[in-house]
Every structure is written in structure tokens, then in C-alpha cells.
Amino acid sequence: MGLKAALSKPFAAFAVWQINKWKKNAVVAQDKILKELVFEARGTAFGKDHHFAEIKDYSDFKQRVPVQDYEGLKPYVDRVVNGEADVLWKGKPLYFAKTSGTTSGVKYIPLSKESMPEHIKAARNAILTYIHETGKTDFVNGKMIFLQGSPVLNVKNGINVGRLSGIVAHHVPAYLQKNRLPSYDTNIIEDWEEKVDAIVEETLHEDMTLISGIPPWVQMYFDKLTEKTNGKKISEIFKNFSLFIYGGVNFEPYRAKIEQSIGRKIDAIETYPASEGFIAYQDAQNDKGLLLLADAGIFYEFIPADEYYNEYPTRLSLGEIELDVNYALILNTNAGLWGYSIGDTVKFVSKNPYKIVVTGRIKHFISAFGEHVIGEEVEQALLSVANDEKVEITEFTVAPQVNPEGGALPYHEWFVEFSTAPQNMPAFSKKVDQALQKKNIYYFDLIEGNILQPLIIRTLQKDAFVNYMKSEGKLGGQNKVPRLSNDRKLADGLEKYIV
């Protein structure tokens, strides 16, 4: 056992001891954070405009701070971007994490000197918790790869700007730097395919023990490795590869293909990082729930998803949530995001401790006829049948077809890229449709009432989604394919890839 591996166990035990202190008292920790956030921001422009000095508790806070997305906060963010201090949070941000917005174009998410360490601590603690639980430390001595965006930062009015994963690269602890790949020269390559090719060359003969990234882009890396080695499994190439860390999307649609590429099952840790804050991570191998980080500079609010578009939706703090209810997640952070709707939906699977699963995006649904089908439902419907039928899915998305040719009934159109296709597509499609009807009563009613016809699956060519994302300039990094759209933009772009 190497020195780092030996030291990691007591370090992990200390980290878990610290976590357990707030884990058992998460609601108390949240109350404390709300008071601290309001107190620290009372002198900012936002704090003055919303009378933070008069806020005594969560009830006061809700009355004064509206729920809003990026567009709602944009007038304040624009002032920060233009160089003004003390607008959303005291002083100026350390960084802006640059992300793609849906309606506002580029989004600039502030990262403060208080919030940045929480990102790093959460990523570290996810690994330390795993070490403490399993006792496994061998991976610490090998090489680790983090598939991420370029670490090159630009400067805007004196503030460094970049992708979150690229910013985080500047904060990797010194004790991990010698183990970490890819090199800086490789990491700054902007073209994703060129970058992955360079990563393959750089890592092919290394002792890779930990691999981390968003599943579809990790799969691309694996595919290129396998192609380079004439069909070898990843476990043959990297014999000591033992830990996979992922986030950004639900892993289940990718699990079968990634495990097939590896050649065996390995331990995995799911994380829930976002530019707005590191929200949760998996702290137990036998539990798919993610531990909500209740003591990480974020005060969370939850809106029942079916109320989200109401004029006055219910807003709940952590102590008021119920299990198995779909909630829109709202953040208030120590970087100055207030009543911020991050766009994700979550469901609590445990209250002791508080654990969540990510169920989708509040704007990613199909409700062309009032069915309000969500991502969790389509994923579970497809994967339950695929697992039974020994069918493997590479990627998929679903959109409504409201105006079919020839006056036929409307339907949900599924665009699926198969690794292993069904032998009988009509029978497979029927089973998926029946599974979705069981998941969503409104969809069932529409099928039974002959308002919709059963779903139709379009089989796509190999690499259809990769080629589509490339054509849109969204290949790699933190970009993800939405599971659901309530319009035809993505569907229309995929039609040319139909087999």
C-alpha cells in the first residue's frame, strides 16, 4: 500500500465524522445557513431591494424573495458582469461559470470565495466517503482521469470566466496533481473529438484506476480505446481500473453499454454537481439515493412539480418535504443566487438522512395533450422492457408528433439509437407503450380514449446523437441530450439519421 493510500483511510474517517455532524441534523443546518446567507447579503443591492434586514425566518424570506430563473435574476447578474461589486453577494465573484442558456443565450453563474471551496470539498468528500465505506484505497495510487472542459479562462471586467469543469481543474489538490490526467496541453484542446483522441494516446499505456465524466462522453472515450486496441475491453486495457465517477445525467440508460465496454462491473459513485452549486452525491454503494448536502452554503427550497407553473406555488423548506413527491429544486447560495430555479426536478427517497434522486428537468416534459410525461417515466418504461428483452440502448429522446400525415392520430415519437436492437420492433414498441401507460395515468387515458395512438419508435443510425450534437456545436464537455422535448426542434434535427 502506497503512502497516499495509507493516509487516505484516517483522512476519510475524519471527513465522515464531520459529515455525520450535520447529516443527522440537516434541518437545523439548513435553518442556520438561511440566517447566515441573509445576514451576509443584507448590504448588497439585492439584499436592500428585498429588505433582507427585516427577514427573521423562512416565512419572511418567502414573502420578500421571488422564485425566478436566470432570466429573472439577469438584471442583477448583468451588473455583476459589468464589474459592479456588492450586487448579489458581497464583493465581486472569484469566477463566472459560463453555461448555455435556453432563452438568454450565454449564462454567467457567479462563483464566490465562499462557494468555490464547497465545490471542491463535495467532490473530495464523495471519494472519501467511498473509501470509508468500502476500505478500498488502491485506486489512489494509480492514474485518475477527469473528462472535462478546457481549463483556459478568459477575463471579463477583471473576473475569470470559464466552464465549471475547467475552473475546478485549477483547484485540484496538489497531492492529486501527479496522478491526474489528461495533461494541460491535452485538456485545452477545444475540439472534443480531437481532444478525446489525444486523451486516448496519453492514457493508453498508463495505470488508469479512476475515470470520471458524463456517461455519454466517457462512452465515446471507451469506444475509441477499444477501437485503438482492436476490440479489447477497458478492463483488459486498464487492469486496475476500479472506480467510475459520473454525474450530469441518469446513468441507467448508459449502464449496460458502459459495463459491456468495461467487461465487468466496477464500483461507481453518482454525483450531482452544477455550476450553481454541488448539490448531492452517492454516499453508499448499495443505495442509489444521493445525500443532499445540507451544510454546503446552499439553502434549498422545493416546489411540487405539478404546482411549478401556478401563480403562487407552494414553497417548502427541507423539513417540510414528503417522500416520493416530484419537486422543482430552488437554490439560495453563498454566491448570490436567490430563489433560483435551477430547472431540475428531484424526489426524496429518504428523510433519515435526506437523500434524493434526480427525476428530470422541469422544462423537459411532453404535455401536448395534458399528459405531462416526465423524464423519469420514459427512462423507466424503456429500460424495464429493454432489460427484459436483452436490448441495449445507446441514447434516446422523445418528442410529440401532433400533426401526423394522412390524418392519423397524434403520438409520441421515440428516437432511439440501439447498441443491440430488438428482434421484433412492433412487439418491443408495444411493451414500451404499455409500460409508459402504467407509469402515467394521463397517458393511459389518452391512449384508451383514442386521443393518442401508441408510441412509435424510430431507429437511428450508429453515432446519430454524436453527429447531431457535433452539428449543433455541443459535442462533449457538460452538454447533454434532453430525454424529452415538448416541441419538434430536436426531433426534426434527428430525422435525417433515421434508419
| Domain ranges across the chain | 365-497
Average pLDDT over residues 395-421: 90
Average pLDDT over residues 319-344: 96
Average pLDDT over residues 44-57: 97
Nearest to 396 by CA among 379, 384, 411: 379
Q: For the stretch 425-457, what's the b/e string if a residue is b when 16 or more beta carbons lie within 10 angstroms of its beta carbon?
A: eeebbebbbbbbbebbeebbebbeeeebbbbeb
User: Is-contact 306 41, C-beta < 8 A?
Assistant: no
- Among 45-59, 177-191, 270-284, the minimum mean pLDDT is found in 177-191
Torsion of CA 268, 273, 279, 280, to 10 degrees: 0
Question: What is the rounded CA–CA span in Å between residue 334 and residue 313?
Answer: 24
Check pLDDT > 80 for residue 6: no
In CATH terms, the fold of domain 365-497 is: GMP Synthetase; Chain A, domain 3 (3.30.300)
pLDDT for the residue numbered 175: 63
Check pLDDT > 60 for residue 462: yes
Residues in CB range of 490: below 8 A, 6 or more apart:
397, 399, 481, 482
Cell numbers for 161, please give them: 470566466
Check pLDDT > 90 for residue 207: yes
User: Is-contact 368 431, C-beta < 8 A?
Assistant: no
pLDDT for the residue numbered 102: 43
Per residue in 333-363, pLDDT (tens digit) is 999 999 999 989 999 999 999 999 998 888 7
pLDDT for the residue numbered 338: 98
* 478 compared with 386, residue with greater pLDDT: 386
Cell numbers for 418, please give them: 440501439
- CB-side exposure of 8: number of CA atoms within 13 Å? 25
| pTM of the entire predicted model | 0.83
pLDDT for the residue numbered 215: 85
pLDDT for the residue numbered 236: 96
409: DSSP letter? P
Phi, psi torsion values for 305, nearest 5 degrees: -60, -35
Cell numbers for 440, please give them: 402515467
User: Mean pLDDT of all residues in the chain?
Assistant: 90
Place 5 in a pLDDT band, splitting at 50, 70 and 90: confident
* 177 compared with 128, residue with greater pLDDT: 128
Place 103 in a pLDDT band, splitting at 50, 70 and 90: very low
Q: What percent of the chain has pLDDT over 70?
A: 97
Cα Rg of the chain, angstroms: 23
SS3 for 206-222 is CCEEEEEECHHHHHHHH
Q: What percent of the chain has pLDDT over 90?
A: 64
pLDDT for the residue numbered 321: 98
Per residue in 254-274, pLDDT (tens digit) is 888 899 999 999 999 999 999
pLDDT for the residue numbered 52: 98
Q: Counting Cβ atoms within 10 Å, is residue 323 exposed (0-12), middle (13-18) or buried (19+)?
A: exposed
Place 197 in a pLDDT band, splitting at 50, 70 and 90: very high
